[in-house]
Amino acid sequence: SAGGYGTFLNADYLQSRLAASSLPTNITFKASPRAGYFFPSAQVEENSPCLELVSDFAHESQGQSGNAACSSSTTLLWNTLNISAACAADYGNDWWKCGLANVAIQYVKTPLFWGQNQFDSNQIFAQLGTPNDNSEVSNQYVAYFGGATNESMNEKLPKKDGAFVPSCLGHTNMDATIGNVTYLSALGDFFWGRGTTVT
């Protein structure tokens, strides 16, 4: 997933390096961030202080909107490189939001194929502080997060991108099938432009 996060932020940089090299100019270049959609945006919520970042468990379980990580601290901690200059210019003092997948994808020119579990267990439990105890309040948050993932990806992914988003509680594993389509077969279809559509 750390590699998935790095994939969407570095795809354009790598493509520019390839284009500047002595390699043939007819190279097909696409990328597939796997478990790298950090983080979905918030579901539409009144008075949310940070619509670009899904509410964390501490806020959502109290019926509030917000996320303690809604600041530049995470971007600085991860030492995020290759943030889009156009994005940073558009966001000004909130430039750090350009390190969030749902913001960055609006600026990435490379076609991306996202492999992302709808219920990302690392984000839900490790990153956003949800108790992994199967309690009613925890299960409600898991459902909320899954809804935010679907809403965010459906709303934010550009037409040039594709996605394989099984309705699974997991992190990097992409072993599920959607119908009879696997992640790898869908990725191959995306890369080669075979046009297979799964909804």
Angle subtended at Cα 68 by Cα 65 and Cα 72, rounded to the nearest 5 degrees? 120
- Integer Cα distance of 67 and 97 in angstroms: 13
> Tell me: the pLDDT tens digits for 143-155?
999 999 999 999 9
Could you write out the three-class secondary structure of 83-140?
A: CCHHHHHHHHHHHHHHHCHHHHCCCCCCCEEEECCCEEHHHHHHHCCCCCCCCHHHHH
The 10s digit of each residue's pLDDT in 22-36 is 877 788 899 999 999
Q: Is the pLDDT of residue 199 over 60?
A: no
pLDDT digits (tens, 9 = 90+) for 46-75: 667 888 999 999 999 999 889 988 888 877
pLDDT, residue 196, reads 62
